[in-house]
Amino acid sequence: MIAVMSATGMTAVLGGCGTTGSSDVTLRLVAADYGDSAANSSQKYWDRLAKGYEAQHPDVKVDVSVYSWNDVDRKVKDMVAAGDAPDLAQIGAYADYAAAGDLYEAGDLLSIPVQADFPSQLAEAGQWNHAQYGIPFAASTRVLFYNKTLFSEAGITPPTTWDDLAADAKALKAHGVTYPYALPLGSEEAQAETMQWLLSGGGGYTDDIGTYTIDSSQNVDTFTWLKDELVGKGLTGPTAPGRLNRATAFAAFADGQVGMLNGHPTLIKQAEKKGVKFGAVPMPSRAGQTTSTPSMGVTDWMAAFKQNGHAEQVGDFLDYVYSEKNVLDFSREYGLLPVTTSASQAMTDSSRAQDEQLRPFLEQLPTSELYPAGKTSWAAVSADVKKQIGTAVASTGDPTGVLTRLQSEATAADSRAKTG
């Protein structure tokens, strides 16, 4: 997914008004931060939203805690393990909680019009055991961003193949560009950069029936190429990919220090604030591929925990969260794609410049490849990828060994999930 900078983990306890048929209920929500600074932290978005809801519901308060993407999934996991689950968690994975019986089904909470407003692709991605537990919250697709000024100075054009990308990176390095191609395989979001490269090499995390194929020959070839042709030739910048987080890479792009990188829509606003002239093209494919690289799609999730028993209040609050206006407000605030059909149509029909910029990403979403979020093992597999994948491209790294180890761990995690 999808987020940028960390908040300080501060908690806002909000007072308000309204009624849902019971008195003095406090809903606790833990959410991820999509902001790139304190000025636009997601805490401010949720504070505004909660106050608007409370104004209509005097017997319900909404207590919001926002954490960075580096911390939020672990924070929720620790809360659940301690028997102190929040009512709602806006996080990166849901299936392990669904399998444990911790979550409400979406149909037990949402009104019929709200549930029907999710595109089928996203609703199906939120299913575990043929029932929807993961409620899509924010979405994005990925493209290759490039710095037009740096490309012009180096006399190069946007790449369409891996060989083109390597040649462009070499030319950018010769012109003194700090990060010819930024390869963020650090702990923040390595699973995303990894997936986009796996797709571009004709592979992926799983096959068509959902079996993990992390150590497939295509995937090994992809990471061998990255190690030998980009990292090994000094074309990925001064920071080792395993220590480079996406937030840092995005900030460097906005500062004019990056020639190329995979990015999602939030990078548009960051780059424009700094006056960077940029373009965006589909992710290049391996030379000789007969089909274009599918875009990677990312959906983050809202999950509702049963522990506190506030189903009525949770459902009513979620109907408010997923109103067309609120979905559009969030998408526009953070440069992300709407997860409801009504908001997507409103964005498509809009003449606002910002909405027009997001339209190419929005058009890719229906055919994009998503994480295998419905697998209860995915959270553990994603965490393992974040920890280990950067070592595959290090100078002493062994792509075959790292991918084989990840495959073994993924297979074991999948087996435990199925038998547990």
Distance CA 340, CA 343 (A): 5
Q: Is the pLDDT of residue 4 over 50?
A: no
Q: Is the dihedral of CA 44, 49, 55, 60 positive or negative?
A: negative
| pLDDT classification of 8: cutoffs 50, 70, 90 | very low
Distance CA 26, CA 18 (A): 12
Mean pLDDT of the chain: 91
- The boundaries of every CATH 3.40.190.10 domain in the chain are 11-140+298-370, 143-294+378-419
| pLDDT classification of 317: cutoffs 50, 70, 90 | very high
Distance CA 349, CA 184 (A): 35
The pLDDT of residue 420: 60
Residue given tokens 């000094």 in the structure block? 234
Count of helices and strands (H, E) across the chain: 17, 13
Q: Is the pLDDT of residue 23 over 80?
A: no
| Closest of 306, 185, 292 to residue 246, by C-alpha | 185
The pLDDT of residue 93: 87
CB-based contact 150:373 (threshold 8 Å):
no
- Within a 13 Å sphere around the CA of 167, how many CA atoms are in the beta-carbon half? 11
Kindly report, residue by residue over 48-85, the tens digit of the pLDDT. 999 999 999 999 999 999 999 889 999 999 999 999 99
Residue given tokens 């606002």 in the structure block? 352
Distance CA 34, CA 357 (A): 19
Please provide the DSSP assignment of 57-89 as one string: -BTEEEEEEEE-TTTHHHHHHHHHHTT---SEE
Q: Is the pLDDT of residue 408 over 70?
A: yes
Scanning 255-398, the segments in alpha helix (DSSP H) are 266-273, 311-321, 324-334, 341-349, 353-364, 378-388
- pTM for the model: 0.78
Q: Is the pLDDT of residue 205 over 80?
A: yes
Distance CA 381, CA 413 (A): 7
Taking domain 11-140+298-370, whether its CATH number is 1.10.150.120 is answered by no
The pLDDT of residue 290: 56
In terms of DSSP bridges, do strands 143-147 and 258-263 run parallel, antiparallel, or are they unpaired? antiparallel
Overall fold of domain 143-294+378-419: D-Maltodextrin-Binding Protein; domain 2 (3.40.190)
Q: 3-state class of 47 per DSSP?
A: helix
The pLDDT of residue 13: 33
In terms of DSSP bridges, do strands 60-67 and 25-32 run parallel, antiparallel, or are they unpaired? parallel
Q: Is the dihedral of CA 395, 397, 398, 402 positive or negative?
A: negative
CB-based contact 304:104 (threshold 8 Å):
yes
Q: Give the mean pLDDT of 181-187.
A: 97
Angle among Cα 207, 212, 214 to the nearest 5 degrees reads 100
Sequence letter at residue 5: M
Report the share of the chain in percent with pLDDT over 90: 76
Distance CA 382, CA 371 (A): 9
Angle among Cα 288, 292, 298 to the nearest 5 degrees reads 135
Q: Is the pLDDT of residue 169 over 70?
A: yes
Q: 3-state class of 246 per DSSP?
A: helix
The pLDDT of residue 3: 38
Name 41's Cβ contacts closer than 8 Å, sequence gap at least 6: 5, 7, 33, 35, 66
Length of the chain: 420
CB-based contact 389:185 (threshold 8 Å):
yes
Distance CA 109, CA 320 (A): 12
| End-to-end alpha carbon distance in the chain | 27
